[in-house]
Amino acid sequence: MSAVRMGLNGDEKPHVLAVDDSVLDRKIIERLLTNSSCKVTTAEDAHGALELLGLADGQQNFSNTVSDVNMIITDYCMPGMTGYELLKKIKESPTAKEIPVVVVSSENIQTRIEKCLEEGAEEFLLKPLRQSDVKRLRCHLTKDGNPTDEGMLCVGR
């Protein structure tokens, strides 16, 4: 079972797993992502996300796992396991560590940003997310050498 597939074909939608404990923010991120032609699965906490990836401790039931996740976007501040701890678990997993993980937070705390990047986060973004943030992330998904049919340039903000 593989939760990872890198390198998209030109006409395939990237599959993004979005993790946030706020139902409001989940609704917004889902819309932002579908508006950027992504397929979206959401989870309301880190444990739920791990279960969807088949990585939860002692997981027996794999019937609800999702496959072919191309990117994970997670909120930093969540009750129970934080987004940082989720990031660590993903990067420790032999099957999932190649999935780019983006951490989002409402707080611009330098030490927080640094430790996420050190742990292997692809990016650290501030909330609230805008369409331009998501478009840029979308760019990351196709920059591994595969030509995109939209000819998008990745421009820094």
Residues that bind another protein (CB under 8 A): 22-25, 27-28, 31-32, 35, 77, 106, 127-128, 130-131
CB of 24 to another protein, least distance (A): 5
Of the pair 27, 143, the CB lying nearest another protein is at 27
Of the pair 40, 55, the CB lying nearest another protein is at 40
DSSP assignment of the chain: --SB--S--TTPPPEEEEE-S-HHHHHHHHHHHHHTT-EEEEESSHHHHHHHHT-STT----TT----B-EEEEES--SSS-HHHHHHHHHH-TTTTTS-EEEEESS--HHHHHHHHHTT-SEEEESSP-HHHHHHHHHHHT-SSPPPTT-------
Q: Which two tokens stand for residue 44?
A: 């309301």
Of the pair 31, 97, the CB lying nearest another protein is at 31
CB of 120 to another protein, least distance (A): 25
Of the pair 32, 50, the CB lying nearest another protein is at 32
CB of 107 to another protein, least distance (A): 9
CB of 140 to another protein, least distance (A): 21
